[in-house]
Amino acid sequence: MASMRDIRRRIKSVVSTAKITKAMQMVAAAKMRRSQQAALNGRPYAITLHNMLVSIQSHLAPDEDASPLTLKRPVKREAVILVTTDKGLCGGLNTNLIREACKFDPANTLFVTAGRKGSQFVHRTRRKLVGEFSFQDTPQYSEARAIVKMAVSLFLNGEADKISVIFPTFKNTMTQVPSCIPLLPITELKPIGGEKTESQVDESLSSSQHSDMIFEPSAKALYDSLLPHYMNTRIYHVLLEMRACEFSARMVSMKNATDNANSLIKELTIHYNKLRQTGITNQLLEIASATSSLS
**Active-site annotation, residues:** 90
User: Measured at the alpha carbon of residue 37, what is the angle toward residues 84 and 114, in degrees to the nearest 5?
Assistant: 15
User: Measured at the alpha carbon of residue 23, what is the angle toward residues 22 and 27, in degrees to the nearest 5?
Assistant: 120
What is the edge-to-edge ordering of all strands in the sheet holding 109-114? 128-133, 109-114, 78-83, 162-170, 176-184
Q: Could you tell me if residue 112 is left (phi over 0), alpha (psi between -120 and 50 degrees) or otherwise beta?
A: beta
Contact between 135 and 154 under an 8 Å Cβ cutoff? The reply is no
Enumerate the H helices of 69-178 as residue ranges: 93-101, 116-124, 141-156
Spatial separation of the C-alpha atoms in residues 271 and 277, rounded to whole Å: 10
Spatial separation of the C-alpha atoms in residues 28 and 246, rounded to whole Å: 9
The DSSP letter of residue 93 is H
Contact between 81 and 166 under an 8 Å Cβ cutoff? The reply is yes
Spatial separation of the C-alpha atoms in residues 249 and 93, rounded to whole Å: 7
Contact between 39 and 240 under an 8 Å Cβ cutoff? The reply is yes
